[in-house]
Amino acid sequence: MLTATTPLPMNTETSLILFKPDAVEKNIVGTVLARFQSAGFRIRGIKMMQLDHAILADHYSHIADKPFFPEIVAFMSKTPVIALALEGENAISRVRDLLGPTDSKAAAAGTIRGDFGEDKMVNVCHASDSPEAAAAELKRFFRDGEVFA
């Protein structure tokens, strides 16, 4: 168990997790969060927020020219989401392993998306896919002072 004085492992990372509208609507946020905590991750920041077009256009800028972009914006803004800064050893890859593949239909039972997701968009959570993405995403969804050490 880590205490306030325990040094963190050298490969400690913080990932952004967004609990998508389907997780909020199905009331499974606590269940999914418990899986992350049981895997040894620590909450460093958490908040509920309503996403607007500006933040979604920034977050999904890599697919803004795709025909399905308006559908993603509509889905991600239909209810508030919960943004989570989650810390742990090799957090980025381990979180993604716990989630399973983006397409919930291809996700194995026992993964979060395999147990609770429906398809490529309705898939419970977004998670950072690299340290660079995590840094940008955490900055996008959390203000200075909202992620704690």
Catalytic residues: 126
Amino acid at position 57, single letter: A
Whether residue 124 contacts residue 117, with contact meaning beta carbons closer than 8 Å, is answered with: yes
Task: Give the integer Cα–Cα distance in Å for 55 and 81.
Answer: 12
Contact yes or no for 16/137 (Cβ under 8 A): yes
What CA–CA distance (Å, rounded) separates 68 from 71?
A: 5
- Rounded to whole angstroms, the Cα distance separating 63 from 147 reads 27
